Structure 1
Amino acid sequence: MTQHPIGVAIIGDGLMAKEHSMALRNVAPVFGAAPVEPRLSLIVHPDPARAEAAARRYGVERWSTSWQKAIDDPGIGLVDIVTPNSFHREVAVAAARAGKHIWCEKPLGLTLEDAEEMTRAAEAAGIVTMTGFTYLHNPGIALARRMVEAGELGEIFSFSGFFSADTMIDPEVPFTWRTDRSRAGGGALSDLGSHMISLARHVLGPVSRVAGLSRTVVEERTDAEGVRRRVDNDDHTQALLRFENGAMGTMQASRVQTGRAFEVSFVLTGTKGAIRFSQQQSHLLEVSLDSDGLDTHGFRTIELGPEHGHFGALWPMSGINVGLHELKIFEAWELLQAIREGRPAKPDFHEALMIERTISAIERSAADDGAWQSVG
């Protein structure tokens, strides 16, 4: 594969900057070559000490305190946005207008209106966009979707999904940008639930109507200056989903789920079979099919392997767990391949906007005591 270099500017210096830089550096070792060669050219943070430290840590050539440097630099072809959500729109719209490809962490925008503006700008510019719904790249999800499309589960009528964590059950966990609606937008629903909506849409298609309830369990937290602040987004949200194909579903997103350090899972049920998936057992997919026969009723375990998704790029044998860092490499591969081929990446800004519309409808429902809302 002939490589063509592309300069990358990472906007932000936190955990996802670490994740993205690792992914971009490891595409070539994992896949043998990168579709285009990503060069970590610039990293940006408004604090010069943090920007310089991030450049050293992540192996980036240069640093700056201004994201505008990335927009103005003709050597930058890909802008990688890993900032708090409140900065996504401004950076993405400017990058799109400058004709630069964009990789943006989820959720797409602080608000639905931001997401719509970002998508319009990207589509008008004809650039490649990617949004960070990492779990979609799991080999088990590739197999689940293949089985649904082949009709092996029959008519799908039920989806039940969970993204549960206990990261904020302790009231002493400090107030951060994630608990501030002005910087994060939604809470557990937007941060965690968006992943579950992305998975539901991927295997079942669009959601038409929703009904949701939300609660802020820990209503106040102390910020870095010792000031008590009100948490104004949700800690825990549950929703009912009605899909366009007639299937029904339930979804839970929680950052205060005692006993669940980190759980991403779903059950998909049809008239001829069912699937159970858990990211914590990401080398497995549990399947029950009517064709297995009554004498073997129940779920059986499929050990995922090289024939499923991009698993074979990592391992030549089956049954080895695939972690989040590795899924991010698959995500980076998809983005770079889309850039090389001049096609939309999956999932792009348009898909992320559809997820944002679903989130917005759930929030409207929760504000109206769970009344059903159309996604639109």
Structure 2
Amino acid sequence: MTKTSIGVAVIGDGLMAKEHTMALRNVRAVFGADVPQPRLEVIVHPDADRARAAAEQYGVARWSTSWQDAVADPAVDLVDIVTPNIHHRDPALAAASARKHVWCEKPLALTSDDAQAMTDAAEAAGVTTLVGFTYLQNPGLALARDLIRRGELGDLFSFTGFFSADTMIDPDVPFTWRTDRALAGGGALGDLGSHMISIARNVVGGVSRVSGLSRTVIGERVDRDGMRRTVDNDDHTLALLEFDNGAIGTMQSSRVQTGRAFEVSFVVTGTKGAIRFNQQDSHVLEVSLESDGLDTHGFRTIELGPGHGHFGHLWPMSGINVGLHELKIFEAWELLQAIAEGRPASPDFREALEIERTIEAIERSALRGGEWQLI
């Protein structure tokens, strides 16, 4: 690794490999030449044909069927893990042992024990880590955090969050690794709810205890080999949250939410104001603030623009939607810049470990009929 160049090994070939390589290829175009240039050195899949095809599609110099060889490659400085969740732990531990930085998709691991081991190894090695809670990079959240920090909302007391999708409402959607607890861990909670937990912690603060209820709405699906399989993780989860600062909240994660193709939204309320945000309208943040001195009730709309987060690196004018792929570019910048500056990135393995603990507490509660669980 040099100050201007970072070699990357991508472990995995699917949708998130596409998103990560798009971000890495475009980060300098968005942020300029001061950002270290990522070199896409090698991409890995155990099937040689898939590895070769991924290298060609994503513009990676070489391909391999061995993640162990990729991690050990002297040209590699950063290990980018975009595999099913069961395969996060071992490459991350190997990367830390080789003193290489790690970018890992969420959730960090299948269990909090694995997440703890990964966190301990990375911190002991002194490497930079980042986990793919991409929505935290949104300019709307940057403005929300700024308003909260400035006291515009007063004392926070309420949070409501939704990550709802209809991606699996069709019973003919096949059984995949995402519906297999052994490979994915939690279902909607781990996949979608982890994002909402990350947002709640980011704008409100740490979570002290939870109560949860879960349902598997479609209990069986047919896999790609035509075999009928039991779905053993959740399709839909609701949770109550109690925060360290005394605020309370609710969150919903669902992959079977009829009528909501894709919704990532939240409301946070305090004694002097409230904020409302929806990723599908990512060009705006809605606010209702006592400091406005208005005699009417309701929210007003702020058009997000160059003064909010990294928005200005994309557009010089306000009011343009910022999509998920663009947020991933912001995430890639955070990691590359942190490596170059020798500082922690955010959210790192330590933060992802706290999110994993929260997921497990919600799952424990759901198994006990909603009984409150400490984090």
TM-score range, shorter chain: over 0.9
Indicate the residue corresponding to 1:284 in structure 2. 284
1:229-268 mapped onto 2 (5 Å cutoff): 229-268=229-268
* Aligned partner letter, 1:42: V
Equivalents in 2 of 1:331, 1:179: separation in Å? 27
1:62-73 mapped onto 2 (5 Å cutoff): 62-73=62-73
Indicate the residue corresponding to 1:44 in structure 2. 44
* Aligned partner letter, 2:8: V
Indicate the residue corresponding to 1:35 in structure 2. 35
1:142-291 mapped onto 2 (5 Å cutoff): 142-291=142-291
The Cα offsets for residues 242-296 of structure 1, whole Å up to 9 and x where unpaired, read as 0000000000000000000000000000110000000000010000012223433
Give me the identity figure in percent: 75
Equivalents in 2 of 1:146, 1:345: separation in Å? 19
* Aligned partner letter, 1:319: G
The Cα offsets for residues 81-137 of structure 1, whole Å up to 9 and x where unpaired, read as 000000000110011101000000000001111111111110111000000000000
The Cα offsets for residues 327-354 of structure 1, whole Å up to 9 and x where unpaired, read as 0000000000000011110000000000
Equivalents in 2 of 1:23, 1:154: separation in Å? 37
How many Å apart are 1:33 and its aligned residue? 1.9
What is the count of residue pairs matched by the alignment?
374
* Aligned partner letter, 1:130: L
How many Å apart are 1:34 and its aligned residue? 4.9
* Aligned partner letter, 1:291: S
C-alpha RMSD over aligned residues:
0.9
Indicate the residue corresponding to 1:296 in structure 2. 296
Indicate the residue corresponding to 1:308 in structure 2. 308
Equivalents in 2 of 1:294, 1:165: separation in Å? 36
Give yes or no for contact 2:112–2:360 (8 Å, CA) kept in 1: yes
Equivalents in 1 of 2:343, 2:32: separation in Å? 22
How many Å apart are 1:36 and its aligned residue? 1.3
* Aligned partner letter, 1:316: P
Indicate the residue corresponding to 2:12 in structure 1. 12
TM-score (norm 2): 0.99
Give yes or no for contact 1:6–1:39 (8 Å, CA) kept in 2: yes
Q: Is residue 313 of structure 2 the alignment partner of residue 323 of structure 1?
A: no
The Cα offsets for residues 335-376 of structure 1, whole Å up to 9 and x where unpaired, read as 00000011110000000000001101000000100000000x
| Runs of 4+ residues deviating >2 angstroms | 291-297
Give yes or no for contact 1:305–1:316 (8 Å, CA) kept in 2: yes
* Aligned partner letter, 2:296: T
Give yes or no for contact 1:34–1:333 (8 Å, CA) kept in 2: no
1:89-168 mapped onto 2 (5 Å cutoff): 89-168=89-168
Give yes or no for contact 2:272–2:290 (8 Å, CA) kept in 1: yes
Give yes or no for contact 1:168–1:256 (8 Å, CA) kept in 2: yes
Equivalents in 1 of 2:86, 2:219: separation in Å? 21
* Aligned partner letter, 1:238: L
Indicate the residue corresponding to 1:353 in structure 2. 353
Give yes or no for contact 2:3–2:340 (8 Å, CA) kept in 1: no
Secondary structure in structure 1 of the residue aligned to 2:20:
helix
Equivalents in 2 of 1:115, 1:102: separation in Å? 13
